[in-house]
Amino acid sequence: MIKQVPKQIAAVLIISSILILASCTSNKKEESKAPSAKTPPPPSKVDAYVVIPKVLSQDIEMPGSLVPFEETELHPEISGRIIAINFKEGASASEGSVLLKLYDGDLQAQLQKLKVQLKVAEQTVVRYASLLKINGVSQQDYDLTELAVNNIKADINIIQTNIEKTQLKAPFNGKIGLRSISIGAYVTPQTVIGTLRKLSQLKLEFTVPEKYSIKMQPGNQVHFTLENNNTSYSAKIIATENNISVDTRSLMVKAIVEKGDTQLIAGAFTKVQIPLGKNNAALMIPSQAIIPKARNKEVIVFRNGIAANQVVTTGTRDSANIEIVTGLKVGDTVLISGLLTVKPGTKVQLNKITKP
pLDDT per position as a tens digit, 148-165: 999 999 999 999 999 999
Report CA-CA distances (Å) from 6 to 1, 256, 269, 300.
15, 121, 110, 79
**pTM reported for the whole predicted model:** 0.57
Domains of the chain: which residue ranges?
46-57+280-354, 61-68+197-277, 72-187
* Interatomic CA distance for residues 281 and 52, integer angstroms: 8
Q: What's the CA gap between 99 and 176, in Å, rounded?
A: 10
Q: Which residues contact 234 (CB under 8 A, 6 or more apart)?
A: 221, 222, 223, 224, 257, 258, 259
DSSP 71-83: EEEE--SS-EEEE
Give the up-direction half-sphere exposure of residue 227: CA atoms within 13 A in the CB hemisphere: 8
The span from the CA of 242 to the CA of 87, in Å, is 39
CATH number at 61-68+197-277: 2.40.30.170
Long-range contacts of 109-113 (CB under 8 A, 24+ apart): 110/159, 111/156, 111/159, 111/160, 111/163
Q: Who contacts 110 (Cβ-Cβ below 8 Å, separation ≥6)? A: 159
- Using CA atoms, how far apart are residues 252 and 246, in angstroms rounded to an integer? 12
pLDDT for position 34 = 46
Class of domain 72-187: mainly alpha
CA 1 from chain centre, in angstroms, equals: 116
SS3 of 20, please? helix
Residues of the chain with pLDDT under 70: 1-40
Q: Residue 158 CA to chain centroid, in angstroms? A: 48
Positive or negative CA dihedral for 255, 258, 263, 265?
A: positive
Closest CA to 189 of 73, 334, 28: 73
Cα 163 to Cα 108: distance, rounded to the nearest angstrom: 8
Give CA–CA dist 143/129, Å, rounded: 10
Q: Which helix (H) or strand (E) holds 159?
A: helix 139-165
Sign of the four-CA dihedral 326, 332, 335, 336 = positive
Angle made by CA atoms 210, 216, 217, in degrees to the nearest 5:
140
DSSP 8-state assignment for residue 37: P
CATH, range 46-57+280-354: 2.40.420.20
Identity (one letter) of the amino acid at 278?
A: K
